[in-house]
Amino acid sequence: MADIKYNKAIPDYEELFSGGEKQGRNSVSVLKQLLRSNKKSLILSLFLYVVKYLPVWVIPIITANIINIASAGGDAAINKILLNLGVLVLVVVQNIPTHVLYSRVTDRMLRTVGAGMRNTLIKKLQHLSITYHKEIETGRVQSKFMRDIESIEFFNTQLVKTLIPCIINVLGAVAVSMCKSGLVTVFYIVVIPINALLVKGFQRKMKTNNRLFRKENENISAKVANMLEMIPVTKAHGLEEHEIHGIENQIKELRIKGLMVDRTNSYFGSYTFVISNILSGLCLLFTGILAIKGKINIGDIVIYQTYFNSISGNVQNVINIYPELSKGIESVQSVSEIMKSSDVEDNRGKIEPRLFHGTVYFDHVFYRYPGESEDTIKDFTLHVQKGECIAFVGSSGSGKSTIINMIIGFLKATKGCVSIDGKPIEELNLNEYRHNISVVPQNSILFMGTIRDNITYGLDNVDEKKLNEVIKAANIDEFTSKLPNGLNTQVGEHGGKLSGGQKQRISIARALIRDPKILILDEATSALDNVSEYHVQQAMSRLIKGRTTFIVAHRLSTIRDADRIVVMENGRAVEIGTYDELMAKKGKFYELKSLSELK
């Protein structure tokens, strides 16, 4: 259908979930707001619901009329019946267009809310700092994205398509009965809550069993995930039987818990069936007596009977979806946890230099990780000129990566000043600044796609000539020329089909093609064998020419050509100088080298 606006603007709920000015907004009010932002669609949807649902209320009335007309008899009886039938047909047929329209309005509203929530969460995740992402497990975020948003969507659907209609139905049925007979309405008001209470009593039992079953399921999932992770170790030690046995018991337990759920469910099903029918029989008895006494017409028994069943059915529905609704509220809480996090980089109003040169100054810089009692970086001073290549060496934990993270702007100095081209890094628009930096990390991160996609990541129009240059410089053609699809080869999940050295060279090409002013290589070659290292090494020496470069390395070959080497120890720069200077000094660097910590 061409008229459906599939690409309607997706709403942004950031303000809503994060609480905006009103801090401490609770989950229920977030949900309320969510619906309120769609007030027009919601009202239209409910109006259409009432119209489309009209037959359910009107049919019993017409049936009662026809019975009353037939039992009274008379000449005009047939005509009166035909008239009633005509009304019935009209009321029923209008259901086709109104139902279609109702579904369209409601579904579009619900899907738009879902899309808005997903979009808002993705935006927030991209804006949260790297520190936040390091601390929260990826799995947890994924579960929030998938499961929680789904259950909020489900909540909204249940609310709009079940709960509110049920309430409308009950109110409608009570109102019509009230017009016809106050006595019957009183009967409803007394009997229906009894029904509701009985259903609710059962539900408590069901809830306990369901929870036990769900917990058991989660236990198994966790155990299976752990088992799969351990498989290489398990196999290497011949412990397959041990693992199988360990999980077998849990599977048995799950079966028992499952059977308990099944049993209560079956009891619940039949008990509610029996109770509702007995109560419905009571209603029949009551209205029958009223008819005998001449208080109501015989035909009206049909109206009261149908409405009674409709009301008690609807009340049961509401009770049944209640647990689902509370799950949705829980999920709002869960999504809000991310949305409320204030650990975002604020680049508003910061300097956006067009031209970076790449001088980096550290002046008496200290850094302390949050919650630690000691400074990790102590009084670090280093002035790096444009185009200089600095190598950091030092034992693991000496603070090399921490310094690198300060250069990228992931960490802010707790004392002292880091400045880029003479401006304190805090005053820069970090997003803009980082367009001038390339980082080749220790573990190259590749995404699913071709080798070409991975190199040109984030760039729109890449000049083929430049790509070829980069590929040569990064020594990528050495292996792509042997692949049937060359650069268009799929790398597989996490680059599964490539060797460490090959992935590293793709990562280097990704850095090169951006032509960065500042280049950072944090232990980029430490995990490679000698042959791969040779190829990567060649690529790197081409890469660093004319750029300010920071290298963290363990290999002598990598640092020999650096302009200056900074020896880190316990958060301090203990020696700074060229390779020859430091060797001649016979100090810490000399010591490290002779300990062959540097290969």
Distance CA 135, CA 399 (A): 19
Q: Is the dihedral of CA 143, 147, 148, 153 positive or negative?
A: positive
Closer CB to ligand ADP, residue 402 or residue 502? 402
* Part of the chain binding Mg ion (CB under 5 A), chosen from 26-34, 324-332, 400-408, 490-498: 400-408
Angle at 424 between CA 419 and CA 425, to 5 degrees: 80
Pick what 84 binds: Mg ion, ligand ADP, none; C-beta below 5 to 8 Å, kind-dependent.
none
Shortest Cβ 374–ligand ADP spacing (Å): 9
- Pick the closer one to Mg ion by CB: 401 or 558: 401
The interface mask with ligand ADP, positions 376-415, x = CB under 6 A, is: x-----------------x-xxxxxxx-------------
* Contact of residue 548 among ligand ADP, Mg ion, none (CB under 5-8 Å per partner type): none
**Site of tokens 């250069």:** 407
E runs forming strands in 351-488: 360-367, 377-384, 389-393, 415-420, 423-424, 437-440
User: Nearest approach, Cβ of 134 to ligand ADP (angstroms)?
Assistant: 7
Judged by beta carbon distances under 5 to 8 A according to partner kind, the member of Mg ion, ligand ADP, none in contact with residue 158 is none
Q: Is 372 in the site for ligand ADP (CB under 6 A)?
A: yes
Identify which of 3, 37, 10 has the alpha carbon closest to the alpha carbon of residue 112. 10
Residue with tokens 């890449």: 462
* Residue number with CB closer to Mg ion (506 or 521): 521
Residue nearest to ligand ADP (CB): 401
Residue 75 partner contact from Mg ion, ligand ADP, none using kind-dependent CB cut-offs of 5 to 8 Å: none
Smallest separation (angstroms) from Mg ion to the CB of 404: 8
Query: How many residues of this chain interact with ligand ADP, rule: CB under 6 A?
Result: 11
* 369 binds ligand ADP per the rule CB under 6 A: yes
Give min distance, CB of 125 to ligand ADP, in A: 19
Residue 130 or 254 with smaller CB distance to ligand ADP? 130
Instruction: Kindly state the helix (H) or strand (E) to which residue 566 belongs, with its residue range.
Output: strand 564-569
Per CB under 6 A, which region of 113-121, 152-160, 177-185, 368-376 contacts ligand ADP?
A: 368-376
Torsion of the alpha carbons at 12, 16, 22 and 24, rounded to the nearest 10: -140
Which does residue 376 bind out of ligand ADP, Mg ion, none, counting CB within 5 to 8 angstroms by kind?
Answer: ligand ADP
Beta strands in 410-536, from DSSP E residues, in sequence order: 415-420, 423-424, 437-440, 518-522
Cβ distance to ligand ADP smaller for residue 303 or 406: 406
Half-sphere exposure of 186 (CA within 13 A, CB side): 4
Which of Mg ion, ligand ADP, none is residue 116 near (CB under 5 to 8 Å by kind)?
none
- In the complex with Mg ion, the residue whose CB is nearer, 105 or 562, is 562
Single-letter residue type at 513: I
246 binds, among Mg ion, ligand ADP, none (CB under 5 to 8 A by kind): none
- Residues 92, 116: contact at Cβ < 8 Å? no
- Give the phi and the psi of residue 513 in degrees, each rounded to 5: -65, -20
- Comparing CB distances to Mg ion, the nearer of 134 and 465 is 134
What's the token pair of residue 235?
């196999």
Q: CB of 213: closest distance to ligand ADP in angstroms?
A: 39
Kind of pairing between the strands at 548-552 and 518-522: parallel
Amino acid at 368: R
Binding mask 275-304 for ligand ADP (x = CB under 6 A): ------------------------------
Nearest to 210 by CA among 316, 322, 317, 312: 322
In whole angstroms, the minimum distance from the beta carbon of 242 to Mg ion comes to 37
Provide, for the chain, the percentages of residues in helix, strand and coil under a 3-state DSSP scheme, each rounded to the nearest 5.
65, 10, 25
Q: How far is the CB of 401 from Mg ion (least distance, A)?
A: 3
Q: Which of 41, 158, 401, 507 is the binder for Mg ion (CB under 5 A)?
A: 401
How many chain residues touch Mg ion (CB under 5 A)?
1
What separation, in Å, do the N-terminal and C-terminal C-alpha atoms of the chain show? 68
Within positions 183 to 212, which residues make up the interface with ligand ADP, using CB under 6 A? none
Stretch that binds Mg ion, among 302-310, 386-394, 397-405, 566-574 (CB under 5 A): 397-405
* Phi and psi at residue 73, to the nearest 5°: 70, -160
Element at 555 (helix H, strand E): none
Decide: is 52 part of the binding site for ligand ADP (CB under 6 A): no
The half-sphere exposure of 325 on its side-chain side, counting CA atoms within 13 A, is: 16
- Residue 25 binds what, of Mg ion, ligand ADP, none (CB under 5 to 8 Å, by partner type)? none
* Binding flag, residue 405, Mg ion (CB under 5 A): no
List helix spans (H) across 481-585: 500-513, 530-543, 556-559, 579-585
The amino acid occupying position 56 is: V
174-191 per-residue burial string, b: 16 or more CB within 10 A, e: under 16? eebbeebbeebbebbeeb
Neighbouring C-beta atoms of residue 441, cutoff 10 Å: 16
Nearer to ligand ADP, 335 or 519 (CB): 519
Site string for Mg ion, 508-527 (x = CB under 5 A): --------------------
The least distance separating ligand ADP from the CB of residue 407, rounded to whole angstroms, comes to 12
Q: Report, in Å, the least distance between residue 372 CB and ligand ADP.
A: 5
Write the DSSP assignment of 28-59 as a string of letters: HHHHHHHHHTTHHHHHHHHHHHHHHHHHHHHH
Query: Is the Cβ of residue 5 or residue 134 nearer to ligand ADP in the bound state?
Result: 134
Indicate the residue among 157 and 376 with the shorter CB distance to ligand ADP: 376
Binding flag, residue 580, ligand ADP (CB under 6 A)? no
Instruction: Tell me whether residue 20 or residue 397 sits nearer to ligand ADP (CB atom).
Output: 397
In the sheet that holds 564-569, the strands lie side by side as 437-440, 518-522, 548-552, 389-393, 564-569, 572-577
Q: Which is nearer to ligand ADP, 49 or 589 (CB)?
A: 589
- Rounded to whole angstroms, the Cα distance separating 35 from 109 reads 9
> Which residues bind to Mg ion, rule: CB under 5 A?
401
Footprint on this chain of ligand ADP (rule: CB under 6 A): 369, 372, 376, 394, 396-402
